[in-house]
């Protein structure tokens, strides 16, 4: 079961980046990719690209490119990096992320909350702003299909099961809604 996450509103993202001139957008090819494929009807992964897991994540890379263009129009110079599972970082990824973060004002994380926390933890004390681009809103079980061209996978919306997190007004903390989308 994956973590279902949704994009934050562009206005909220920009508010969190006030004063930022240079940013690094870190993307996760895991839960974020499936969630974006589901939400935006984008291809999930390429089947014809043997470059490895980080490079075949179509939906998250399309959203990354949209964000990069959005930042550019706002005057924010942007670099990008895809990290397989920032919720399970290996030391070589940690060193590379820290190095890439040395030259930016903010690191924007296009991943679920687990990925955001992983990045935030390794950059603690680096003096760089860490901004989430998504929020985790539930868990999912997705069926993955292959498009008619045979080039891409996609999330079968009709077979998707999403269990959304909910918060109770009574202050008892987070719970779950039992309804699937």
What's the whole-number mean pLDDT along residues 124-139? 95
What is the distance between the alpha carbons of residues 150 and 139, in angstroms, rounded to a whole number?
A: 28
Q: Do the Cβ atoms of 136 and 87 come closer than 8 Å?
A: no
Best CA proximity match to 78, nearest among 28, 124, 14: 14
Domains plus CATH for the chain?
Answer: 2-176 (3.40.50.2300)
Structure tokens given for 50 = 């043997």
What is the distance between the alpha carbons of residues 37 and 48, in angstroms, rounded to a whole number?
A: 18
The pLDDT tens digits of the residues spanning 24-68 come to 999 999 999 999 999 999 999 999 866 777 788 999 999 999 999
The pLDDT tens digits of the residues spanning 156-174 come to 999 999 999 986 544 444 4
What is each CA distance from 179 to 138, 164, 166, in whole angstroms?
11, 8, 11
The pLDDT tens digits of the residues spanning 9-29 come to 999 999 999 999 999 999 999
Global pTM reads: 0.88
């Amino acid at each position: 079961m994956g973590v279902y996450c949704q994009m934050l509103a562009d206005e909220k993202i920009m508010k969190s980046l006030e004063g930022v001139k240079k940013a690094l957008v870190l993307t996760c090819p895991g839960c974020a990719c499936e969630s974006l494929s589901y939400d935006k009807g984008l291809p999930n992964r390429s089947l014809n690209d043997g470059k490895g897991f980080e490079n075949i994540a179509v939906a998250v890379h399309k959203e990354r490119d949209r964000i990069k263009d959005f930042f550019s129009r706002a005057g924010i110079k942007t670099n990008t990096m895809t990290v397989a599972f920032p919720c399970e970082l290996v030391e070589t990824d940690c060193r590379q992320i820290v190095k890439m973060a040395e030259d930016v004002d903010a690191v924007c994380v296009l991943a679920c909350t687990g990925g955001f926390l992983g990045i935030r933890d390794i950059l603690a004390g680096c003096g760089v702003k860490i901004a989430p681009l998504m929020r985790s809103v539930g868990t999912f079980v997705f069926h993955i299909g292959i498009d008619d061209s045979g080039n891409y996978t996609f999330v079968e919306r009709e077979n998707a099961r999403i269990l959304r997190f909910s918060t109770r007004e009574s202050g008892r903390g987070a719970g779950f809604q039992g309804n699937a989308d």
